[in-house]
Amino acid sequence: MIVIAVVIILIALALAEVFLYRKRGFKRIEYKLSLSSDEVNEGDEIEIIEEISNGKLLPIPWFKTEIVTSRWLNFAGANARITNDSRYVPSFFVLGGYEKIIRRWHVKCTRRGVYRLDKINLIMSDLFGIVTQSKLAPVNEEVIVLPTPIRLDDYAISPQMLGGEMVIRRHIIEDVFEPIGIREYVDGDAMGKIHWKATASHGELMTITNEYNVENSITTMLNMQSGEYGITSAQGIKSLELGIKCAVAIFQKAEEIAMPFSLLANTNIDEESDEISSPLSTGKEHYINIMRTLAMIEPHSTMRFSTFLKGKYHSINTSEIAIITAYVDEDIINFVRYKSRSGIKVTVFLTAVITDEIPPDVPTVNITDRIDENSSNERGDDIG
């Protein structure tokens, strides 16, 4: 009889425990997540702080949180699980009555991007593991990871462009009363510029060239197409990240000498435009704004780069142009030659190995061998 009574009492206690945890398990449980910084550079560390508090007498013998975020946020010491581009970071707690626990994660930001922490799973269980309940925590945090530059020691802004204005041959705002010469017609020339008398004598279309004064400045054009590789392939992603780091290095060089600079790209970061077109300016605020834009870029293009170039023949009025691309085709070659004939310095930065021979009159810088010391862990795997 005593044994039976004990069994009945234990069953009654277990049922009462199950009922209590089902009704009161998540009651007065508070969860907060915060970041030590909401904007950092690639390779920097931040702290992610979890706070769990139990505002009732009933203890929680088993409590689990699971942070779902990007694989490029590396949690030191975490027993994390990585699936595709997501990282799952679990934490386990025993919460006593009226207890508060704080856990600080040291997190390395291994790749540029905008990372949100808005999926936090909360799971609790009773002492016997009979009752298991879960819910999503109301969290919405974000960190912007700004890109860092590659080494670009072999590229310098031309000495003659370090200050003042320069006279170049342009085809943007022309003084038709001050022609300085005649040249062969190329794609992109306005029909109104054709010199018909010279065309008749030469037997081919000829156009007028004119003088135009522009302020020393640089436009960086980022090609979001990757040639034979899909932009979302491993090689395409690698090329894109290298191109973005190259752009950062160019902007740093321009900012150091207070030269106005702008960014153009055949992609978008919102639905209001089909391209990125930053204003031509200089200064720390302008530089940071462009870094934020580069951080937000996703691997997709909104148009073919050849189409993008055709719209820029007469709209770029800077004294230097940097084209960052994974390939070189006839459209890029023609654009470089057209701008070079106008006295503009154009440099093509290659982000992928190409086998086709590039004409000697197209200046190129191969950056495929550049080592980024801040990104030694390319896969975003745990290193802590």
Task: Return all residues near 218 (Cβ < 8 A) that are at least 6 apart.
Answer: 157, 250, 254, 259, 260, 261, 262, 318, 319, 320, 321, 322
Q: Which element (helix H / strand E) includes 9?
A: helix 2-24
**In sequence order, what are the residues at sequence separation of 6 or more whose Cβ sits closer than 8 angstroms to the Cβ of residue 2?**
none
Find out whether 311 and 331 touch, Cβ atoms under 8 Å.
no
The confidence score (pLDDT) of residue 164 equals 47
pTM of this prediction? 0.81
| Three-state DSSP state, 118 | coil
Give the model's pLDDT for residue 182. Answer: 72
For position 304, what pLDDT does the model report?
93
Domains present along the chain, CATH in parentheses: 26-146 (2.60.40.680), 159-164+216-366 (3.40.50.410)
Distance CA 260, CA 215 (A): 9
Parts of the chain with a pLDDT under 50:
159-178, 213, 373-378, 383-384
pLDDT value at position 178?
43
**Orientation of helix 284-296 relative to helix 234-256, angle to 10°:** 180
pLDDT at site 210: 57
Kindly tell me the burial class for residue 50, based on how many C-beta atoms sit within 10 Å of its own C-beta (0-12, 13-18, 19 or more): buried
